[in-house]
Structure 1
Amino acid sequence: MAQQDINTDIASTYREIYRAKFQEDVQTGVKKPFLVPLYLITYWVIPIIYLTIPHKNRPWVYRARWLVLAFTVAFNFHIILHVSSHNFASAYGAGLIGAWGIVWNFALLVWTKPQWEAKRVEIRRKKRPQGAQSTQDNRLRGPSSPFSSQNDHTAQSNGNSNAQGGSRNATGLELNGYKPSGNGSAHNRKGGNNTVNSRTTPGHTELSEELRKLLFETVPSFRKYQNDDEILAELKKLGENQEFEYYWQEYPADASLWTRLDWAFDIANSFRMTGWNWAIPCLPPYDLPPTINGYQLPLSAVVPHRSKQGYTRRLSRKSFFLTRLFRDIIPGYLIVDFCAVHMTADPYFVLGPEHHHHAGVPLPPHLASLSPVALSAQRAFFSFLGVISALQLVFAFGSLALAFLPPIPQILRFRSHPWHLPSFSGSFVEVLDRGLPGFWGGWWHQTFRFGFAAPSRWLERQGYVRSGSPAHRLVAFALAFVQSGFLHASGSYSTVPRHSKWWLPPLFFALAGIGSSLQTWLARRVFGGLIRRLPRWVRRLGNLVFVLGWMWLTSWALIDDFGRCGLWLFEPVPVSVFRWLGYGPTQDRRVWRYERDFWPKWYSGKHWWNSGLGV
């Protein structure tokens, strides 16, 4: 592309215009800055405090959830209607957070009963039979906590190293994982005790072939033993010296305030319910490792580590770090940097499709020469590329921060282990094999899936719809896309520009639901016989064409509004590699992008609760 084609810098101009507009709105009382901690209390404070109070045997406390819900809904609607930010991403995020706060509080307080039904995989010191020899306890060695700084990936510490033989390193989280295959976890997993007993007959003890395979792949050092008797004897010895164990922790009603607070904080912040019996079904399973002859296997025995939809998890911190860095962060950083430079040279991404009529900003020559079809396709492509790369970058940085950035791992402990941090998205094969339903239900990030699915699951449990019926699927589809539309409409409304059309994003998600249902109906009812006879590559090509065509024809309702909202004016990276290489408008070649207006600001209000850090 010729340099003179992109020498107009309208992005910097409108950044200044919108920031000045926001300051004017704050001074006149039209908008309020997004203050931390004030506008996070209905997400991080009130529901967590309520869930910390035991109410299984206190009906009046349980009924009080309606008061909690009423306050959180009213407060979150206040955020949607009146809160914005000088930061363009935070301005959109204010409405998004307000809407998600409503959806999530309904999920935790109405559609589910966490204190009755939810449980998580947790670690505790292994209980030993009363009267056990004190000499055995004296032999126990290793860290006093499974999160010792010297061995922070070890969750189960064995005692006598001589008793362990070659298996001493087989009790930690960081192990050779089982080769992925099969399906992910089932939603609302019951969570049994997972104790596996060997088959025993007089004079002979035998392990099943499946159990032996799992044991050898999880703890390779057991392959040296010649028969099952030796294996079981070693397992019993290891089990006697095993210091920590995994267990299902239900709501700890009788535990200390700190323990209940930790439990409530965890469930309120686990959007995908990783590590819980409510883990969303597209993820690898979350369950207890099997226990064989008194010895509990490490977490690597909870297989597979790759779900059918392509979501993967790592057990090694090194593997987790390298995967996130080289597969997610570095490519995502470069792509989002290129998109930020390239897209903001197009006035469509700065002002929306009305840029020429309302603002008098013409297209640059390199875009004006394109046909309307080519221009529309290019804009749709870069919009989705920018969204995907930005989300990938945010989620990857967030997961690395949870796992490595002090003091987060020290506070979250077991919850910060990579086992709880599966990949951000699924496999694109889901799109090729299932089309639009695979796009939204498998490949695209499933961060909000539990909250979106909670109302339809409640209707199912109450008997209003039959599980698996067409009515159930239709209701689940409709409710999920309606809630997604609500989130994006709220984000559009809370932005600074006044010309955003918040009612269009819900239209996009409604059309997405219609398209998914339409493709399923066509593939099963109309052309099912023909499609089944076609080669696999033809079926996949057909799915891909349908997805690309439908997304192109309907995406205008969403991406047009992204431009009107000024969302692409956000600076996604601190250092612009492509501007350093000379790409982009000549008037703005600043390599360092985070200037004073990017950073949080302190706001002082009339009252102490109106003061805080504006983000």
Structure 2
Amino acid sequence: MFRSGAYQLRIQELDSNYRKDIDHGTYLPFTYPWGAYGALLALLYLLVPHRQSLRLYRLRWIVWGLNFVHAVYTIKYTRAQGPARSYAVGFGMAWSILWTTSMLLLHDGQTEFYRVQRISDANGSLQKSDFNPAGTTPCSDRDGEHKAQTKFSLKMQPFPASPYLARLYWVLDLMLTFRGMAWNWRIPNLPSPSVQVSINGQVMAEELSHTARPTARSYATKEALIHASWRNFVKGYIALDVLKTLITHDPYFWGETHGPPPAYLPSLFRSSSTFVQSYRLVIAQLCIYWALQTLFQLGPLVFVGLLGNNIVGSWGQYWMYPSQWGSYESVLERGLVGWWGEWWHQTFRFFFETPAKSAVRFLDLNPKSPLARLLQIFIAFSLSGTLHGCASYTSNGETRPLRGPFLFFLLQPVGIAIQLFCSHYLRSMNISQKLPNVVKLTCNFVFVHFWLYYTAPLLVEDIARGGQLLWEPVPFSFVRGMGFGRRDDTWYCWGGLLYSWHQGKYWWQSGLAT
């Protein structure tokens, strides 16, 4: 077992390595506004109407190229202090390349995309560009007094030429929306908005209800959303507190991936390498799940519960926030396809699918053919592996971006292909039809967890070596405060400066360093 204080020494080691790299000029600190230049450039470009200008339309290649160079340079030469921020540098920069590729090159975000807008049925005049799609309801002011009844209908809003504030809101919504809930490119697992009024035209109806198999849960009212968000936030806080406390007692999660099992496990379990690895993978999965789940609750709690649509528009509408996770039944019913395509969060799905679909069109393949579907799956997972690999590359620890996260995600479509082939074979031999449903569900469950048992360490151990599991997710720890942590743990877990001013050699290197 590691000596007392080894956990804190590991944190100090990573911080010391960061400082040495900065002091010796190996890397530059990641600063703002430098880190936002790529996003700012894309924002400025999209704010300028280019529907009637071929020259401006072609300028998108220059915008994409400048952002690409900026992102690659940042990944290669800058680092941030702290596990979460260092990971975010690589992930965020790689994400900016993927976003601009999808929205500027493979699509024309300004001309192809539309967002929902509310209009008044009484006079047809345009209301706010943000809306409540609950249909014919009383409009009420902030102190709850009802105003006159007004009927509203919905239409799709293209890029607004004027006024400027409406255009700015439209572009910001496009840039900050991941799943496209209020857009015509909404990802397919989301439910349609809860619309109770007639919609203008058949095209609009098709665009709002294209989902054949929604797997995300929607909420019928604002109160239901806020209640669920608070419940998930509290559960997540408690779960992260418990999980983080367990992590502080297991050197595996500090980067010592060949370290002994934690001492708190019974000796019978500690002697089983299979149990120890399974236990650690479950802890890591729960950490990722609850970290994301808790983070996802901040949107509805702040925008809907605190600010509301009078301040932030459609971002303050309850229907904008269907659940991020599907039902685990999808894993039992569809195996790895259900795990990645329906149960796990689908935050980046559109931006993984867009290049994949473009490749299929470029190769002139039938989109429904097995070859095209397999190609799309491999491209989508390769892009996910690239994002996580770049995040691994900018981490402060000794990571293996290609042999770790990239390989993990690249192996997932291999598992999917194996499972689909076996399923097809059993159906062709008329075996599948004869099996009881419980046998099918059990086989899917076993295969998924067998596959992840042997592939997930590629991702989990790389995250551990990078220091990401040393990140402190909660400011106050009730579990450690009651004495279940290390001897030097206290109730308060956060400390140090979030930002500091860095004066670089050139003006563009100066800014708030993270």
Q: TM-score, length-normalised on structure 1?
A: 0.75
Partner of 1:323: 228
Task: Report the counterpart of residue 245 of structure 2 in structure 1.
Answer: 341
Taking the aligned partners of 1:7 and 1:574, their CA distance within structure 2 comes to: 26
- What residue in structure 1 maps to residue 338 of structure 2? 438
Q: Secondary structure at the match of 2:118?
A: strand
Which of 536-545 and 497-506 deviates more?
A: 497-506
Looking at CA atoms only, which structure, 1 or 2, has the larger radius of gyration? 1
Matched, 1:601 2:506: no
Which ranges of 4 or more aligned residues in structure 1 deviate by more than 6 Å? 144-147, 152-156
What do the CA deviations read for 1:192-225 (whole angstroms, capped 9, x no partner)?
xxxxxxxxxxxxxxxxxxxxxxxxxxxxxxxxxx
Paired residues for 1:216-235 under 5 Å: none
State how far apart, in whole Å, the 1-side matches of 2:175 and 2:132 are. Answer: 25
Q: Aligned letter for 2:225?
A: F
Between Structure 1 and Structure 2, how many residues are aligned? Answer: 497
Task: State the one-letter code of the partner of 1:398.
Answer: G
Aligned mate of 1:248, from 148, 151, 156: 156
1:582 has 2:489 as partner: no
Name the structure 2 match of 1:19: 15
Matching of residue 97 in structure 1 with residue 5 in structure 2: no
8 Å CA contact 1:7–1:584 kept in 2: the answer is no
Q: Give the distance between the partners of 2:22 and 2:421, measured in 1 at CA.
A: 50
Any unmatched runs of 5+ in structure 1? 131-143, 157-166, 173-237, 357-361
Q: Is the 8 A contact 2:113 2:185 kept in 1?
A: yes
Counterpart of 1:277?
Answer: 184
Structure 2 Cα separation of the partners of residues 409 and 124 of structure 1: 16
Cα shift readout 1:512-550 (whole Å, capped 9, x = no counterpart): 110011111111224552222222222111111111111
Which of 250, 260, 263 lines up with 2:170 in the alignment?
A: 263
In 1, Cα distance between the equivalents of 2:162 and 2:366?
Answer: 38
Secondary structure, counterpart of 2:117 in structure 1? strand
Q: Quick one: structure 1 residues 436 and 129, their matched pair in 2 at CA, closer, same or farther if it must change by over 3 Å?
A: closer
Q: Give the equivalent residue in structure 1 for 2:24.
A: 28
Which of 305, 315, 321 is the matching residue for 1:404? Answer: 305
Which whole-Å CA distance do the structure 1 matches of 2:470 and 2:162 have between them?
49
Mark the runs of 5 or more structure 2 residues left unpaired by the alignment.
141-147
Equivalence map 1:28-177=2 (5 Å) = 28-43=24-39, 45-126=40-121, 128=123, 169=138
Q: Which letter maps to 2:250?
A: D
Match of 2:271 among 360, 365, 370: 370
1:498 aligns with 2:406: no
Q: Show the 5 A alignment for 1:344-359.
A: 344-354=248-258
Is contact 2:426-2:432 (8 Å) kept? no
Write the distance in 2 (CA, Å) between the matches of 1:364 and 1:125: 63
Aligned mates of 2:277, 2:133 — CA distance in 1? 53
Deviation at 1:610, TM superposition (A): 2.7
1:298-309 residue pairs with structure 2 within 5 A? 308-309=213-214
Please say which of residues 241-250 and 514-523 is displaced more in the overlay.
241-250
SS of structure 1 residue aligned to 2:116:
strand
3-state SS, counterpart of residue 501 of structure 2: strand
Identical aligned pairs, as a percentage? 28
Distance 1:153 1:70, change over 3 A: closer
Displacement of 1:23? 1.9
SS at match of 1:64: helix
Separation in structure 2 between the aligned mates of residue 518 and residue 88 of structure 1, nearest angstrom: 36
Whether 2:216 is the aligned partner of 1:311: answer yes
Question: Equivalences for 1:515-554 in 2 at 5 Å?
Answer: 515-526=415-426, 529-554=430-455
What CA distance in whole angstroms lies between the structure 1 residues aligned with 2:416 and 2:375? 13
Secondary structure at the aligned position of 1:596 is classed as coil
Is contact 1:33-1:614 (8 Å) kept?
Answer: yes
* Amino acid across the alignment from 2:510: S
Name the SS for the 1:285 alignment partner: coil
500-509 or 514-523, which moves further after superposition? 500-509
Alignment partners' CA distance in 2, 1:465 and 1:154 = 39
Q: CA offsets per residue over residues 266-301 of structure 1, 9 Å max, x none?
A: 111111111111000011125965428x9xxxx9xx
Q: 1:323 to 1:307 in 2, by over 3 A?
A: farther
Distance 1:351 1:91, change over 3 A: same
| Cα RMSD (Å) | 3.0
1:38 is displaced (CA, Å) by 2.1
Specify which of 465, 482, 487 is matched with residue 564 of structure 1.
465
Structure 1 residues 319, 61: CA separation in 2 closer, same or farther (over 3 Å shift)? same
Q: AA paired with 1:87?
A: G
